[in-house]
Amino acid sequence: MIKIKDFAAREKYAQPMLIKSCTKGTTAKGAPYLTIVFQDNSGSIDGKFWDVKPETEENCVVGHVVDTEFEALEYNGNLQLRVFRVTDIPQDDIDMSEYLISGNYAETELRQKVEELVKSVKNEKMRLLVEAMFRRVGQNFYTYPAASRIHHGYLGGLAEHTLGMAALAEQVAVLYPSINRDLLICGILMHDMGKTAELSGVVASEYTLEGKLAGHISICHGWLMEAAEELVLEKEEETLLLRHMILSHHGKYEFGSPVLPELREAEVLNLIDNLDARMNILDQAMEKLKPGQWTQKIFALENRTFYKPKV
């Protein structure tokens, strides 16, 4: 099986691939087509299935590995697939490790680093709240992606994103000693836990009904309130501060935050969240390039293109 990263323009292939997402469309002349994102453990690629028939559309099951025939074509400087056939196959004996993109760290390493961070929190009330939240999300924290596609959208991405932010936070707290390090670290550890309910899982990370109707910020805030009540900490200032960290971490109303940051630590949380996400987006875009090449326009980075230097 040829890996997605090794596809070449004007070559035809027939092999299994994972369907990451599938969107219906209609041409100007009224013909139905599908936009399909295929994936293996080397990356993902967009494909177009033109003039798709209803019986063929039924084979395009999101989250399934399917047998596929297609041709790789160059479009706007990048490869895109023209799909000729998709056939669903039995899923029981498929080795999913061939089709899931993994992060840079093993799960055991992610778990060890997170547990060390939790133990390092000196404020007992904050530590108890964080521990309760980790009991709530459990194993999902170490396997879920941090987003469906934009950044850290792979196995273990949520924990990797959280630890990347924590590493930045430790440096910021040294540079600015007025920052409450425990509050910042606890806010980081908890801020995206709601993603484990907002997203459907690691194979095909679509938004759940709860995710669409409530969103991860509201979900996480609700979990924190439940944890605080169980610990009889709902009236403590530590609880209120952590509630604010969760509710404000997107930084702006138009980005989904119900309140704006009004703590130094909340301001820092928003900034390093954005920084870590943007660096991951750029790392993924640059990984595909040779020195001297430009990326495509990156929607999440204001539709800018970025140059990969030769030096």
The residue behind tokens 């904050």 is 126
Q: How far is residue 275's CA from residue 283's CA, in Å, rounded to a whole number? A: 12
Q: Check pLDDT > 90 for residue 204.
A: no
What integer pLDDT is reported at residue 177 of this predicted model?
96
Residues 179-195: b if buried by 16+ CB within 10 A, e if exposed: bbbbbbbbbbbbbbbbb
CATH C-level class of 4-97: mainly beta
Structural domain spans, the chain: 4-97, 102-284
φ/ψ of 274, rounded to 5, equals -65, -40
Q: What is the pLDDT of residues 162-194, one digit of tens each?
A: 999 999 999 999 999 999 999 999 999 999 999
What integer pLDDT is reported at residue 92 of this predicted model?
87
What does DSSP say about strands 78-88 and 32-40: parallel, antiparallel, or unpaired? Answer: unpaired
What integer pLDDT is reported at residue 152 of this predicted model?
87
Which whole number is the average pLDDT over 106-128?
96
Which whole number is the average pLDDT over 197-204?
85
What integer pLDDT is reported at residue 206 of this predicted model?
83
Query: Which range among 62-71, 122-131, 154-163, 196-205 has the greatest average pLDDT?
Result: 122-131
Q: Which of 23-27, 123-127, 130-134, 244-248 has the lowest mean pLDDT?
A: 23-27
Which whole number is the average pLDDT over 192-216?
90
The two tokens of residue 239 are: 């609880």
Which whole number is the average pLDDT over 131-158?
90
Q: How confident is the model at residue 297 (pLDDT cuts 50, 70, 90)?
A: confident
In degrees, to the nearest 5, what angle opens at C-alpha 149 toward C-alphas 60 and 213? 85
Q: How confident is the model at residue 213 (pLDDT cuts 50, 70, 90)?
A: very high
Please, what is the average pLDDT of the chain? 93
Q: What is the pLDDT of residues 38-96, one digit of tens each?
A: 999 988 899 999 998 888 888 899 889 999 999 999 887 778 999 999 999 998 889 98
Which whole number is the average pLDDT over 294-305?
90
Q: How confident is the model at residue 17 (pLDDT cuts 50, 70, 90)?
A: very high
Q: List all residues 6 or more positions away from 113 whose beta carbon is below 8 Å from its beta carbon.
A: 105, 163
Q: How confident is the model at residue 2 (pLDDT cuts 50, 70, 90)?
A: very high
Q: Check pLDDT > 80 for residue 149.
A: no
- Contact (Cβ atoms closer than 8 angstroms) between residue 64 and residue 88: yes
Which whole number is the average pLDDT over 227-247?
98
Which whole number is the average pLDDT over 278-290?
89
Is the domain defined by 102-284 classed in CATH 3.40.1710?
no
What integer pLDDT is reported at residue 182 of this predicted model?
98
- The percentage of residues in the chain with a pLDDT greater than 70, rounded to a whole number, is 100
- DSSP-derived letter for residue 89 is -
